[in-house]
Amino acid sequence: MAATSHGGVIVIMAKAPTPGRVKTRLTPALSPRQAAILYRCFLEDTIARAKTIREAALVVAYSPATCRATFEALCPGVALLPQRGRGLGARLAAVVGRLLREGRRPVIVIGGDTPGLPDRYLRKALRTLTAHRADLVLGPARDGGYYLIGLTSPAPELFDGVPWSTKHVYATTLERARRLGLRVASLPPWEDVDTPDALGRLAATLARASRTIAPRTKRWLAASP
């Protein structure tokens, strides 16, 4: 990993944009190739947005680990960290735990599929944790998951055995945090894009947004049939 200095860090959990491996719930509305191209747009826009947050370093945690060259070309100059572990929970726990052990605090994690996420949400999460007003920040997604998680200390119990890809993810994480005695702060709801309905809502949102918001995604959506 290229960046090891202390301080806050934003981590983007990213997959290689390979047809048939990403955004599979958008098919058959999109072909596997279209879904992969769109995901690449999501990812590039998410990275570009995160780069504007000067208060924190940026790390892209990528999967699979064999695709480092893909990400070196996709986001040159950005610190890269391979995802390790079986399942999303193990990979999240490993990434967060490693960075916290290196002295990076706070660690804010988002997915690569939130291209229109307002930067003020990222800044609010960083400020809340840096000022020690909470131990954990969660950004609830409208499908019952979360689009952001931020921590100042390791808490692997938050990731172990969570019913991922269900409407219970956020509620389960919140309950575990309370059992661990963590002070929790929540951000406004937002939406990651996993379904055709969510994609339609994103297209409508971006059509009203500034030209600087998710420009690659916006161009692809405007050009698609």
Residue 98 contacts residue 25 (beta carbons within 8 Å) = no
Structural domains of the chain sorted by starting position, each given as residue range(s) with its CATH number in brackets: 9-223 (3.90.550.10)
Quick one: pLDDT at residue 4? Answer: 44
What span, in angstroms and rounded, lies between the C-alpha atoms of 60 and 92?
12
User: C-alpha distances in angstroms, 93 versus 28, 41, 50, 89, 183?
Assistant: 32, 26, 21, 6, 19
Quick one: pLDDT at residue 192? Answer: 87
Quick one: pLDDT at residue 3? Answer: 45
pLDDT, one tens digit for every residue, the chain (225 residues): 444 446 899 999 999 999 999 999 999 999 999 999 999 999 999 999 999 999 999 999 999 999 999 999 999 999 999 999 999 999 999 999 999 999 999 999 999 999 999 999 999 999 999 999 999 999 999 999 999 999 999 999 999 999 999 999 999 999 999 999 999 999 999 988 999 999 999 999 999 999 899 999 999 999 986
Quick one: pLDDT at residue 225? Answer: 66
Instruction: Tell me how far apart the terminal alpha carbons of the chain are, to the nearest angstrom.
Output: 40
What span, in angstroms and rounded, lies between the C-alpha atoms of 180 and 119?
29
